[in-house]
Amino acid sequence: MRSIRKPLLALSLLACVVAGPALAQQTSGYPPPCEASKVSKGDVDRAHTVFLSGKQFLEESNYDKAISYFKDAYTIDCSVHAILPIIATAYERKGDKAEAVRALEEYLKRAPNAPDHDVVERRIKNLNDQLAREQPAAPTATSPPPAATAAPAPTPTNTTPPAPPEAPTAQVTASAASPGAEAGAPSEHTVGPWVVVGVGAVAIIGGAVLEGIGAGDVSTAQQACPTRQSCAKDVASQGNDGRSKQLLGGIVIAAGAGALAGGLIWHFLEKPAGARTARIAPMVAPGYAGLSIDQAF
């Protein structure tokens, strides 16, 4: 029996060693990372061609095919980790924010010293905030129905005729709210500040997305032409466009932050219109009897 167990144990260990990378790829959904020195020149060229096809599908809003081509390019050349933020962009445009976050987090693990580390962290935070807002609120517990109470006994009716009403001596006061509101209800702020806040938030999110796309283009161009000399025309154009997108994204983020702050300041400094009150009192004069109404705002 012992002679059989030893070979079986050795085979199990060998299977774990062989299946380890495959299991890691299945867990993360992406190929294991590798060094650029271990990728041949032919694989680099082939990965770049596949990547350009994926970029074309992304521009045509065919996000499923774009994601498939980007993943194939990364599988061919697993040293270009900058493809991961671009995959995240495709997932985000598709509406799958959870997969976009997973791709960005995988990028931070594989490229911890990347120059766009802060930009990617901001993208992850924005996406997580959007996912938190999209989750449905937990149902609240319903209160139990009130216990049944016995009906009160009928009170005996008074057959005595009522006394004649006395002359009005007390003043009656009443408060009337501003037009369009119920009496005594507090007035509310206008919706203008919140419109400005919403526009600012949308601008911040759009600027972050644009900045992330630009960072991905710049990183891809640097991978294709590290020396930045005698680069191919499409690579140079991609790098220049990426820097322009980064700059424009930063400007949009700054403008959105200003609009958001301005809307909040407007909301807190806005003074709601006060309520008006009316005082009603009886009035008796020679040849006249009625009510006197005084209003104060």
Digit-coded pLDDT (tens) for 231-247: 888 878 888 888 899 88
Nearest-angstrom CA–CA distance, 107 and 117: 9
Mean pLDDT on 284-292: 49
Task: Please tell me the predicted confidence (pLDDT) of residue 182.
Answer: 42
**Among the ranges given (13-27, 77-91, 98-112), the one the predictor scored with the smallest mean pLDDT:** 13-27
Assign 165 a pLDDT band (cuts: 50, 70, 90): low
Sequence-distant (≥ 6) Cβ neighbours of residue 186 within 8 angstroms: 272, 275
Task: Please tell me the predicted confidence (pLDDT) of residue 147.
Answer: 59
Please state the pTM of the whole predicted model: 0.40
**What amino acid is encoded at 170 in this protein?**
A
Nearest-angstrom CA–CA distance, 186 and 177: 8
104 compared with 13, residue with greater pLDDT: 104
Residue ranges of alpha helices (H) inside the chain are: 2-28, 41-59, 63-76, 83-94, 97-110, 117-134, 192-224, 233-269
Task: Please tell me the predicted confidence (pLDDT) of residue 42.
Answer: 94
Task: Please tell me the predicted confidence (pLDDT) of residue 135.
Answer: 83
Domain boundaries, the chain: 17-118, 188-297
40 compared with 140, residue with greater pLDDT: 40
Assign 160 a pLDDT band (cuts: 50, 70, 90): low
Task: Please tell me the predicted confidence (pLDDT) of residue 290.
Answer: 52
Assign 168 a pLDDT band (cuts: 50, 70, 90): very low
Assign 217 a pLDDT band (cuts: 50, 70, 90): confident
Give the residue among 96, 90, 86, 118 at the shortest CA–CA distance from 242. Answer: 86
Task: Please tell me the predicted confidence (pLDDT) of residue 115.
Answer: 92
Assign 194 a pLDDT band (cuts: 50, 70, 90): confident
Place of tokens 């997973």: 102
What proportion of the chain, given as a percentage, has pLDDT over 70? 64
**In the structure encoding, which two tokens stand for residue 146, read together?**
């009130």
Domain topology for 17-118: 1.25.40
Sequence-distant (≥ 6) Cβ neighbours of residue 63 within 8 angstroms: 57, 90, 91, 93, 94
Q: Which residues pair with 172 in a beta bridge?
A: 280
> CA 210 → CA 80, 141, 151, 172, 189, distances in Å?
21, 43, 69, 64, 34
Q: What is the DSSP letter of 111?
A: -
